[in-house]
Amino acid sequence: MQTELDGRVAIVTGAAGAIGRAICRRLAENGARVVVSDVVEGAAQAFAATLPGGADRVMACRIDIADPQSVESGVADVLRRFGQVDILVNNAGINTQAHRVPIDAFPPSEWDRILRVDLDGTYFMSRAALAPMLARGAGGRVVNIASVVGLAALRLQSSFVAAKAALVHLTRAMALELGPRGVLVNGVAPGSVLSEGTRALFYSPDGSFAGRTAEFMDHVPMRRPGTPEEIAEAVLFLSAPESSYVTGQVLAVDGGWTAGSAF
Amino acid sequence: MRVDLDRQGFAIGGENTAVSRALAAALLDNGAAEIRAGISDILILSLPLCPGPGFDWSAQKALAREAGAAMQARGPGEGRGRILFLLSAAAALPLRRFPDYSADMAAALAFMRALAMQLAPEVRVNALGAGLIGDPPLAGDPAMLRHAALERPGTISELVDAALFLLDPRATYLTGQMLSVDGSWSVGYGRNF
């Protein structure tokens, strides 16, 4: 699709990752001024330099969403540069790689680390970006990147599953609170996507679940993982002026995985 | 917004409503052509969008099954075929005053989801879930308004644009989903303050 985001300022967190990069690109292609924010500043800068529009339309920014101070100073940098925030894409998130274990063996420090980024970080980031968005009174959009694991539970990643289910419901609560103030809040729940993380776990020969990919794909009617661009397309629609009566929705982009039982 | 539907054929089956007519106009405007015979790339199935008595949607169901099989049999070309059901958001959240209507809608939603699994990967199958649209209503029930955070009915173009997105040739991993265009009615039904 093609839409008009001319002049709008979009912050994308976790923007140096595969899905984040695709989201930034689609927003930029449709005219938005894009803030490429990531906890890894160098990666954000390197990617920002590849986007169309140059320094007038693109900025890189280090934001660690788990750290409220980093979030506040990042949003302040954005306001100094672009003067407003219209779209926030809460894309940053982490999952466990090393601790693929059931809950009775799940390390408390890993539980805290994941919840701190995926859930607390989304709250910190939303709070900080909503302040100028609401103050300006011109409306706005928030798109939370959840996961199908927030809709259909999976094993051996309880903290991630719990955090993503929380994001699904947080999206709905935010939509109800912010709708009367002109800010629409929706979620995208990606299925399995070819990104750095899933490649390490599933789609490379030395991943913990290597060799089980086919078994896993039996549950996905489209029989393949998704691409970052396919996730970005849904984010683009939910950021576009045309989705102005859509709020509180969590759209799974998952090749039919959560449509029902495939057996 | 624009989606690139050049050289794609569409067909519309079921209820002839203001919504289905507006969607047909938007498809034409985005480059698609209406075809009356043969296999289309896009099939729209229109169901009654204003809550009332129960309804018979067996014709739409048969059409979806038949056209879906034909699209699938056309062979490789993942997601080239698309089927879109125009449903009420009440498909996922029943209305106390309209039990038969709610049940028929829910059945159509379940069928859409099962069909999406059956027809993947060649055909993408999705649904639009209309909330209160228009005044007087073209879709939905006026009672929905008090639970919609956006505090207004939607417009027909907001509904049509969401349909275009579901048919977007770039939304290639999106199947088996209902997208509700309801101003948050379906998530806000718990309390109206």
Inter-chain CB proximity B187 and A256 less than 8 Å: no
Would you state the structure tokens that stand for residue A45, as one six-digit string? 């800068």
Nearest to A247 among B120, B150, B171 (CB): B150
Other residues' Cβ atoms within 10 Å of the Cβ of residue A142:
26
Per-residue confidence band for A197, with pLDDT thresholds at 50, 70 and 90: confident
Q: At what angle do helices B99-119 and B58-73 cross, to 10 degrees?
A: 10
Residue B148 in contact with partner chain A when CB distance is under 8 A: yes
| Number of C-beta neighbours around residue B23 at 10 A | 25
Check if the beta carbon of residue B47 is closer than 8 Å to that of residue B86: yes
Distance CA B125, CA B85 (A): 8
- Give the integer Cα–Cα distance in Å for B44 and B22: 12
Q: pLDDT tens digit string along A82-101? A: 999 999 999 999 998 889 99
Residue B151 tokens, joined: 């505090």
Instruction: Give residue A214's pLDDT band: very low, low, confident or very high (50, 70, 90).
Output: confident
Task: Give, in words, the CATH class of A9-191+226-254.
Answer: alpha beta
What average pLDDT does chain A have? 95
Helix axis angle for A158-178 and A122-136, nearest 10°, is 10
A50-83 pLDDT, tens per residue? 999 888 999 999 999 999 999 999 999 999 999 9
B175 and A251 within 8 Å at the Cβ level: the answer is no
Q: What is the model's pTM?
A: 0.97
One-character DSSP codes across chain B = -B---TT-EEEEEE---HHHHHHHHHHHHTT-EE-SSS--SEEEEE---S--S----HHHHHHHHHHHHHHHHT-S-TT-EEEEEEEEGGGSS--TT-HHHHHHHHHHHHHHHHHHHHHTTTEEEEEEEE-SBTTTTSBS-GGGGGG-TT-S-B-HHHHHHHHHHHH-TT-TT--S-EEEESTTTTTSTT---
Q: How far is B104 from chain A (nearest CA, A)?
A: 18
Contact residues, chain B, for A245 at CB < 8 Å: 131, 133, 150, 154-155, 158-159, 162, 181-183
Helical pair A41-48 and A18-29, crossing angle rounded to 10 deg: 40
Q: Which two tokens stand for residue B39?
A: 């296999």
Is the CB of residue A181 less than 8 Å away from at least one CB of chain B? no
Check residue B125 and give its pLDDT. 98
- Do the Cβ atoms of B171 and A3 come within 8 Å? no
pLDDT the model gives residue A198? 72
Q: Are A171 and A179 in contact (CB under 8 A)?
A: no
Task: Using CB atoms, pick whichever of B117, B162, B188 lies closest to residue A176.
Answer: B188
**Consecutive H or E run containing A186:** strand A183-190
Q: How far is CA A232 from CA A192, A197, B17, B35, B97, in A?
A: 14, 17, 32, 31, 39
Q: Does B122 touch chain A (CB under 8 A)?
A: no
Q: What band does A207 get if pLDDT is binned at 50, 70 and 90?
A: confident
Amino acid letter at B75? G
Closest CB to A249 among B114, B118, B179: B179
3-class SS of residue A88: strand
**What residues does each domain of chain A span?**
9-191+226-254
B32 pLDDT exceeds 90?
Answer: yes
Q: Identify the band that residue A215 occupies on the pLDDT scale cut at 50, 70 and 90.
A: confident
Asked if B165 is an interface residue toward chain A (Cβ–Cβ < 8 A), one would say yes
pLDDT surpassing 90 at residue B31: yes
DSSP string, A200-243: HHTSSTTSTTTT-HHHHHTT-TT-S-B-HHHHHHHHHHHHSGGG
Residues 6+ apart with CB under 8 A from A3: A30, A236, A237, A240, A241, A242, B1, B2
pLDDT of the residue at B76:
75
Helices (H), chain A: 18-29, 41-48, 68-82, 108-115, 122-136, 158-178, 196-201, 213-217, 228-239
Name the residue among B78, B117, B158 with its Cβ closest to that of A260: B117
List the single best residue of B118, B128, B184, B191 to mutate versus A (max A Cβ within 10 A): B184
Domains plus CATH for chain B?
9-77+89-181 (3.40.50.720)
Sign of CA dihedral A252, B2, B161, A245: positive
pLDDT in tens, B101-149: 999 999 999 999 999 999 999 999 999 999 999 999 999 999 999 999 9
pLDDT band, very low/low/confident/very high, at B52 (cuts 50, 70, 90): very high
What's the whole-number average pLDDT of chain B? 96
Q: Given a cut of 90, is residue A138 above it in pLDDT?
A: yes
Q: How far apart are CA A114 and CA A120, in angstroms?
A: 9
